[in-house]
Structure 1
Amino acid sequence: MSADRNNFSFYKEAHGTWYIDLPDYPGPKGDLAMVAGADDMLDYLARGGKRVEVEMSEQPFAGALILELVRMGEPGGGAYYKPVNHSIQSVWLCDVTLFALQKFPEMIYFRAIE
């Protein structure tokens, strides 16, 4: 993820699981599931909806919420983030983050696009 902002779409299926919409991802759909706090954050951003577009950057921008890298996950991979000034305590982002963002940034600034 460069200093530029990136937009990602997420959708919630009828059974309640959130997924990131990454048509070029080479792995199984199950890898794209948002779990372990990421689903709670998406519920918050979607405000009861079933789809949400999220703008992300490594640089602060107006109206952005913040995820701060806490530690790299082991042994299952991924990374744990703490939402700054938010009631959600922990968000785990799986290794699909490396496909989408090319790394696990120290800080991720994000907001739902209205």
Structure 2
Amino acid sequence: MERVIRFYKNAKHEWYADIPEWSGSIEDLQMVEGADELLNWISANESECKLLMADEQIENAEILNLVYVREENLGGGGDYMLESFRGEFKNHKLWLCNVTEFVFKQLPERIYFKEVE
């Protein structure tokens, strides 16, 4: 499955995913625990970016590897590792909440992503 997702910063410089069909709380769409830092790298500190995200390999994509599935009482979703970014070693850990499962209909072992216009 492939999906383009827009991410944006609010007036407090907090990152959010733009998922129009999400019926839960807006707070559930906030990008925290390392995901916000990754979006700052991708956007070069701009206030918005769009990513093509997929649970199957796409050409020239970065890769997030699932390292831990969190129990619901720990926020659900999963902890992912970004080993490298744009050819540079990062070993960056980030958390993606259960909205990831909503988008992909599962918690993918790998998430491939790249910036799109």
Q: Which amino acid aligns with 1:72?
A: V
- Contact 1:65–1:84, Cα closer than 8 Å, also in 2: no
Question: In the alignment, what sits opposite 1:57?
Answer: 54
Q: 1:37 touches 1:91 (CA, 8 Å); kept in 2?
A: yes
Post-superposition Cα deviations, 1:47-76, rounded to whole Å, max 9, x if no partner, equal: 121111000112222221000000101332
2:99 is matched with which residue?
A: 96
TM-superposed CA distance for 1:88, in Å, is 5.1
The answer (yes or no) to whether the contact 2:55–2:104 under 8 Å persists in 1 is no
Q: How many residue pairs get matched? A: 111
In proportion to residue count, which structure has more strand? 2
C-alpha change, 1:65 and 1:103, in structure 2 (3 Å) is same
Unaligned runs of 5+ in 2: none
C-alpha separation in 2, matches of 1:52 and 1:88? 22
TM-score, length of structure 1 as denominator length? 0.90
Residue 8 of structure 2 corresponds to residue 11 of structure 1: yes
Counterpart Cα distance in 2 of 1:88 and 1:12: 24
CA pair 88-45 structure 1, distance change in 2 beyond 3 A: farther
